[in-house]
Amino acid sequence: MFQLTATPASALSDEPVHIRATGLPPLQLVTLAASLKDEKGHLYRSKAFYRADEAGELDLKQAPAVGGDYVGVHPMGLFWSMKPDRPFGRLLKRDVNSPFLVTLDLYDSVCSQDSATAQPRASQVVQRWFSSPGTQRVPIREGRVRGALFLPPGEGPFPGIVDMFGGIGGLIEFRASLLAAHGFAVLALAYFAYEDLPKHMQEVDLEYFEEAANLLLAHPKIRGTGIGVLSVCKGAEIGLAMACFLKQVVATVCINGPTALYDFPFRYRGLVMSPIPSFLERMQVHVSGAVSLLRYRGDPREKLNQRSVFPIEKAQGQILFIIGEDDQSVNSKEYAKQALEQLKSHGRSNGRMLLYPGAGHLLEPPYAPLCYASRIYPISAPLNNPISLSYNYSFSQPLLWGGDPAAHAAAQEHAWGEIQKFFRQHLTQTRSEL
């Protein structure tokens, strides 16, 4: 009798699942499929073909997929290889208090997911959570700051982190909530397109982010030795600015972001910086119809653009650049290399880079599907409200992010562990050790 098991059947989304099938005819070719619906009802699916062993068993920790959405031994391949039925979709968890429900189906032949007549011989539903029991979610509406603070169970004090995403806007909480499950107190910070914040980004006002850093550091459950910043894309640009100008920031992770100012002016107290020019005519259209912005932005190495490069040598804390080498949106590898050279030229050694071949722009926590391209409507806006990438240009075409699915998945799994090690190391020291 066909049996399909997935253990644990309920777990955090960054935990692996052990998938096995038993009761199969010896050497039987079978199809394993996975599917889930996001909170808007959009479907994501994957499938892979396997051959049972001579005992009629199949263990994804050992058995290679022979075809389908991936090949080789990939125990979590059914999760990270999911693709949207809707073109240019991006899987995002909006409500961290409910799980994604992933349905695993076992078919006794090589079959297409699209076959309406095939019936699975066994099925299993797996719950993938983004919050652990006891985690406290505290809405933040203090001064200008808007976001949500996630506190682990217990008295603390906990290492504090500000978590920011990029041009999608709104408030995205799943990464902050997951980190709280690992013992960090994390402020998911919105900075446009949320509640009473500006609907569109118009400038980078660092005083807003300084207010958020001070708010987090003043919390009684936060370890008072300084805070960390975790950021991606436009958020990584802001995160680097925080590292350069705010003494409260002692550890910064920048995922695939620039090291200079783009698209919007920057303001901090009496300092005003202008962005490096961008060139719409340099955009390239991929065969999928998505647009690559790799050549869209001006070069920070040009003499006239130097005034828009962040003074990274002023950063007192540690900086970790996490780079996908197949990033098709930002030339993040070159930016990080320039930043490290800039540090070295000033006798500083407080930065390092993790480079992941084959990984794209949108590096997420482990086992999330690769998003190769997507639209960037603000998360809280209707679908007729494209984001503004420059002062007077609204961008409604999908953007290309890049990445090879298997390499991207390996990068996400490794980087997630490195991010936690980095913050544990640098947010638990005393100020005298920094």
**Closest C-alpha among 326, 278, 269 to residue 299:** 278
Average pLDDT, integer, range 44-69: 97
Decide: residue 11, CB within 10 A, 0-12 exposed, 13-18 middle, 19+ buried: middle
- Residue of 110, 105, 109, 108 whose CA lies nearest to 122: 105
Per-residue confidence (pLDDT) for residue 391, from 0 to 100: 34
Residue 23 half-sphere exposure toward CB, CA atoms < 13 A: 10
Residue 342 confidence (pLDDT) above 70: yes
How far is 265 from 293, CA to CA, in rounded Å?
Answer: 19
Q: Give all strands of the β-sheet with 3-7 in edge-to-edge order.
A: 3-7, 18-22, 58-59
pLDDT tens digits along 367-399: 999 999 998 754 443 334 444 444 333 457 899
The fraction of the chain above a pLDDT of 70, given in percent, is 93
pLDDT at 305: 87
DSSP code, position 434: -
CATH architecture of 3-129: Sandwich (2.60)
Question: Which is nearest to 233 in space by CA: 387, 56, 45, 423?
Answer: 387
If DSSP codes are grouped into helix, strand and coil, which group holds residue 281?
A: helix
Q: First vs last Cα of the chain: how many Å apart?
A: 61
Contacts of residue 277, defined as CB under 8 A and 6 or more positions apart, other chains included, come to 298, 305
Mean pLDDT score of the chain: 92
**pLDDT of residue 5 exceeding 90:** yes
The enclosing H or E element of 405 equals helix 405-426
**pLDDT for the residue 146:** 98
Q: What is the largest CA-CA distance in the chain?
A: 74
Q: Which amino acid, 218?
A: A
* Parallel/antiparallel/unpaired status of strands 266-268 and 373-374: unpaired
Identical fold for domains 3-129 and 136-428, yes or no, is no
Element (H or E) spanning 413, and its range? helix 405-426
Q: What is the pLDDT of residues 234-266, one digit of tens each?
A: 999 999 999 999 999 999 999 999 999 999 999
Give residue 433's pLDDT.
41
227/379: higher pLDDT: 227
Angle at 420 (CA atoms; ends 60, 311), nearest 5 degrees: 130
What does the pLDDT look like over 259-289, one tens digit per residue? 999 999 999 999 999 999 888 888 899 999 9
Quick one: pLDDT at residue 379?
A: 44
- What is the pLDDT at residue 387? 42
Per-residue tokens: 217: 């550091």
Residue 336 DSSP one-character state: H
Please list the active-site residues: 233, 327, 361
Residue 314, number of CB atoms within 10 A of its CB? 12
The matching CATH number, chosen from 3.30.428.10, 3.50.50.60, 3.40.50.1820, 3.40.1800.10, for 136-428 is 3.40.50.1820
pLDDT digits (tens, 9 = 90+) for 290-329: 999 888 888 888 888 889 999 999 999 999 999 999 999 9
In what helix (H) or strand (E) does residue 209 lie, and over which residues does it extend?
helix 206-218
Q: φ, ψ for residue 99 (rounded to 5)?
A: -90, 165
> Rounded mean pLDDT of 143-171?
96
**Those residues with Cβ within 8 angstroms of residue 331's Cβ, 6 or more apart along the chain or in another chain:** 294, 297
Instruction: Give the Cα separation of 360 and 382 in Å (integer).
Output: 27
Query: Cα(80)–Cα(102) distance, rounded to whole angstroms?
Result: 12
| Backbone φ, ψ for residue 381 (5° rounding) | -105, 155
- Where along the chain do its domains lie? 3-129, 136-428
Say if residues 170 and 191 touch (Cβ distance below 8 Å). no
According to DSSP, the β-strands at 271-273 and 266-268 are antiparallel
Strands of the sheet containing 351-356, edge to edge, are 136-142, 145-151, 185-190, 160-164, 227-232, 249-255, 318-324, 351-356
pLDDT of residue 377: 57
Residue 362: CB partners within 8 Å, gap ≥ 6?
90, 232, 233, 256, 370, 371, 374, 401, 403
